[in-house]
Chains A and B, each alone.
Chain A
Amino acid sequence: MAGAVERPGRFGGMPFGGSGTGSPFLFRKFEQSCSVMTDDLILRITNLSKSFGPVQALKGVDFDLRRGEIHALAGENGAGKSTLMNIIDGILQPDSGEILFDGEPVTITSPARAQKLGIGFVHQEIALCPDVTVAENIFMATTNTSRKLLMNYRALEKKAAEVLGQLGDIDPSTMVRDLSISHQQLVEIAKALTLDCRVLILDEPTAALTEKEAQVLFRIMRRLADKGISIIYISHRMVEIFDNCDRVSVFRDGRYITTRNVAEIEPDDVVNAMVGRVIDELYPRKQSESEKSDDIILDVQDLSERSRFRDVSFQLKKGEILGIAGLIGAGRSEIVKGICRLEGDVTGDVSLNGRKLALKSYRDSIAEGIVYLSEDRKGDGIFLDMAIAANVSALKPEQVANGFGLINRHKEEAQAEMLGKRLNLKCGSLSDPVSSLSGGNQQKVAIAKMLSVNPKLIFLDEPTRGVDVGAKAEIHRILRNLAASGVGILVISSELPELIGVCDRVLVVREGRISGEVTGERMTEENIMHLASVGGAEATIN
């Protein structure tokens, strides 16, 4: 339906709930409040578009930022938030559209130019130099533009200590590689704070922070905003947006959807606008009573690894989808990779369908039918420049070969075609490289690769990262069907709504230990975040 993809008129009160059958007319009553005096704006973006090859990442996007406001950006992965921010920071150049900064039209040609304008960007990925001190990292940008020949390390550390003092207990002379991930994230933020910026972009800054550290950050954000600095805050966590931000703009599929005052709306409104329809449709049904079983597929007892996790015990029952939540760096992926022997030196017992396993390598794990879907699709999940069919057969090319080890092209394509149909893969030819597909279809190829060996148990690490909403819903449905057919499904995700929507039970990991478990009614973002950052027995949710 065309209505779902059209950008709503500025004052039109368009329903962006989707098909219109029972969808709420979201936000309509607040339309009027959003007309703003132009001179109040530090940044105004109109009709911005950007394509990557055939993929249109931004389709005529509008966005404006007032002086001294904290403005949240919300949207699914692939909605275009990151592309927009990268354009504002000069990393990417738009194909068309206009950017007004402080009332002046500007072209931001590079991050250095953005910095000169007073735009600071704290990226989601930590981009620090690990072998250099905290102080030097913080002042990297200033050093770069300094005219002085020699470094004054003492002054540098003193200045760094001042900035860090607001954020937490970090010694500016330590090497960055010796810091925990949450402290590294704080250094990243400190780096941006030292810049004399007028616009500060924070891309999921709290993904690796504990609750306490996040609260400190929010206080600093508010202080900066009171000084007139404008903050763009990207987050998946509705709680954070609603507790700390002034306005929120929603993006979906590369389009601008709407901007609203946070005080006047509810989290559900934002979520629905992000998804483009009522949220229930995004997630498949949960496990039904009749599907509940006492058969244990995976039984993990006292799994430990030297530095990454300790005493991890849990069970995965037949028919259920089990989730693992936790902050970045808490050890979620490490536990799962440890079970299937992808990395780490692991001790403890792992049983599959009641039989104790003695896995030595990931090859053994594949042979037992335990496979892992990587969180980093392009980095280690797929072979981008190889054919789709060759990607699907990669786990066991022997399956499509004859006794002499000769690959049978027809068999290989038939396998890819069969799995592709099952996953509703959209592609031209199966001999095209995977790089020709969209993110969602690439992910389906990665999943087809897992399914090619008829697995008994699949670990999926961020299964819908960088996947559009439609494919996301399909992937979730596939997972539910697999679980119902008796395949063990374990999902790791940083997106709490996804875990809550898909899983029947969620384990929360904190600092390498399982700090709690939530099911049914108790599966809420608040409860999971609490377990993830406070943890421990005292945090057990009643």
Chain B
Amino acid sequence: MEDAVSLTGTPQGKPAEASLIKRLLRMRETGLIAIILVLFIVMSFASPYFLTWVNMRAMVMAFAVEGIVVVGMTILLISGGIDLSVGSVTALAMVIAGWLFLNGVDPWAASAISIAACTGIGTFMGFFVTRVGLHHFIVSLAIMVIARGICLLGTGGRPLGLFTLPPEFKFIGQGSIGPIPVVILIFFAVVIGFDFLLRRTTMFRKVFYTGSNEKAAAYSGIRTKRVVFFTTTLCSALCGVAGIIYMARFGSAQPTFGIGMELNVIAAAVIGGASLKGGSGTIFGAILGAVLLSVVSSSLALLDVSVYWQDIIRGSILLTAVSIDHYLVKKRA
């Protein structure tokens, strides 16, 4: 009878050594790294400029600041949310800090105020999502338009030239420590820091619980609304940080900056394994997604492909990556 109902089973075993490799192969990150490596090899043959220090540096610079926003977006996606306003809020951070600076505020204080303001926008969205009960999509869509409006209103639509920014401030965006640009150092610090937090802390574990199954999380005593409120706020705050770095890098505040950024950022996170349904995703994967998109853009530019093609190709990559993943997940289930 034990046979029919199988009361006796093998006790749970530790994963065998072989399954570690299997698991590694199954990981999304491995596949992404492989694709990126292939692109690297192909491109280094296709263009003599590709594998140069200057090009590499330019490529990393291109996604480093946006990468900070990708971190915020990934965490928000894991909790089950989404933010379409990242581009506008990043621009707004530049505009607020720039405007304050032009009106005589110390640039560091102006930056702090600006980041606080972006954090405020995040709490505002968090309020509408968790207290009023609206969907992230709609709330952030509205904020996307509103924030852009404020940018244009405050600047009259023209970039603010910030030629008098002190050099120690510009250092954030333009300087290097040794051969490595400060921007890249900040980027790595943010990525490694949040990746660690997300993997290891109880606080961020609750983000996963909430995104994976909000009701089950609530039934486990997790204050899911607080979690969502927190991730929404964090994403906007990181947009603020990114905006300030951009300002230091460009030496100006551009009200039209970051249009379409949300696509890049969401695409990077999703290619890297974050699910729009919440509950899954890693920062490492999302950054690899950003790297992939950046390598593709850079390659297309080096191969003299028209910029108009670039959006079409980016969109297609997103669709392909997500379809393949969906297929694999379905097959596994």
Contacts and interface: CB of A to CB of B under 8 A. Distances in A.
Interface string B166-203: 00000000000000000000000000000000001111
Interface string A393-413: 011011001001111000000
Given A276-B5, A429-B13, A53 B216 contact: no
Given A363-B221, A385-B279, A406-B200, A474 B213 contact: no
Given A429-B13, A429-B14, A407 B4 contact: no
A44 B32 CA distance: 52
Nearest to B14: A429
A380 B201 contact: no
Given A397-B206, A431-B15, A384 B5 contact: no
B1 A424 contact: no
Interface stretch (A1-9, A114-122, A130-138): A1-9
A395 B212 CA distance: 15
Interface in A427-457: 427-431, 435, 449
A435 B332 CA distance: 11
Interface string B3-30: 1111101111111000100000000000
Contacts of B47: none
B218 interface: yes
Contact of B12 (A365, A382, A427): A427
A4 B1 contact: yes
A386 B1 contact: no
Interface string A1-39: 110110000000000001100000000000000000000
A53 B333 contact: yes
Interface in B61-89: none
B146 to A, nearest CB: 33
Contacts of B208: 383, 386, 390
B209 A386 contact: yes
Contacts of A427: 12
A271 B208 CA distance: 43
A444 to B, nearest CB: 11
Nearest to B208: A386
B216 A18 contact: no
Q: Which of B7, B205, B216 has the most CB of A within 10 A?
A: B216
A428 B13 contact: yes
B326 interface: no
Contact of A385 (B206, B212, B215): B212
B209 A449 contact: no
Given A276-B5, A277-B1, A421 B11 contact: yes
Interface residues of A, number: 54
B223 interface: yes
A91 interface: no
Given A395-B221, A401-B202, A417 B7 contact: no
A56 B96 CA distance: 62
B140 to A, nearest CB: 25
Contacts of B3: 1-2, 4-5
Interface residues of B, number: 37
Interface in A457-476: 468-470, 473-474
A386 B218 CA distance: 16
B202 A395 contact: no
A253 interface: yes
A420 interface: yes
Given A372-B219, A383-B209, A386-B209, A5 B4 contact: yes
Contact of A380 (B5, B7, B218): B218
A379 B216 CA distance: 7
B221 A276 contact: no
Nearest to B5: A470
Contact of B333 (A4, A398, A435): A435
A426 interface: yes
A276 B202 contact: no
Nearest to B201: A405
Nearest to B15: A429
Nearest to A376: B215
Contacts of A417: 12
A366 B221 contact: yes
B34 to A, nearest CB: 23
A405 B198 CA distance: 11
User: Which of A380, A430, A469 lies at the interface centre, i.e. has the most chain B CB atoms within 10 A of its CB?
Assistant: A380
Contacts of A468: 5
Nearest to B213: A383
A342 interface: yes
B316 interface: no
Contacts of B215: 379-380
Contacts of B19: 429
Interface in A241-276: 253, 276
Contacts of A428: 12-13, 15
B220 interface: yes
A1 B200 CA distance: 46
Given A390-B205, A397-B206, A474-B7, A380 B219 contact: yes
Contact of A382 (B7, B201, B216): B216
A63 interface: no
A187 to B, nearest CB: 27
A426 to B, nearest CB: 4
B123 interface: no
B7 A398 contact: no
Given A380-B213, A383-B279, A429-B12, A1 B4 contact: yes
Contacts of A362: 218-219, 221
Nearest to A382: B216
Interface string A338-353: 0000100000000000
A500 interface: no
Contacts of B6: 470
Contacts of B218: 342, 362, 380
A497 interface: no
B231 interface: no
A57 to B, nearest CB: 15
Nearest to B196: A406
Contacts of A405: 201-203
Nearest to B215: A380
B280 A385 contact: yes
A374 B215 CA distance: 10
B12 A420 contact: yes
A425 B205 CA distance: 24
A390 B14 CA distance: 16
Nearest to A395: B220
Interface string B277-291: 001100000000000
Contacts of B202: 397-398, 401, 405-407
A111 interface: no
Contacts of B212: 383-386
A253 B201 CA distance: 42
Contacts of B213: 379-380, 382-384
A147 to B, nearest CB: 37
Contacts of A431: 15
A326 to B, nearest CB: 21
A60 interface: no
Given A380-B215, A382-B216, A406 B1 contact: no
CB-based closest 9 A-B pairs: A470-B5, A380-B215, A4-B4, A426-B9, A397-B202, A383-B212, A19-B1, A429-B15, A363-B221
Given A366-B221, A425-B12, 6 more contacts: A276-B4, A276-B5, A362-B218, A405-B202, A424-B9, A435-B333
16 contacts: A1-B4, A2-B3, A19-B1, A342-B218, A379-B215, A380-B218, A383-B208, A383-B209, A383-B212, A385-B279, A394-B209, A417-B12, A425-B12, A430-B12, A470-B4, A473-B7
Interface of B: 1-7, 9-15, 19, 200-203, 205-206, 208-209, 212-213, 215-223, 279-280, 333
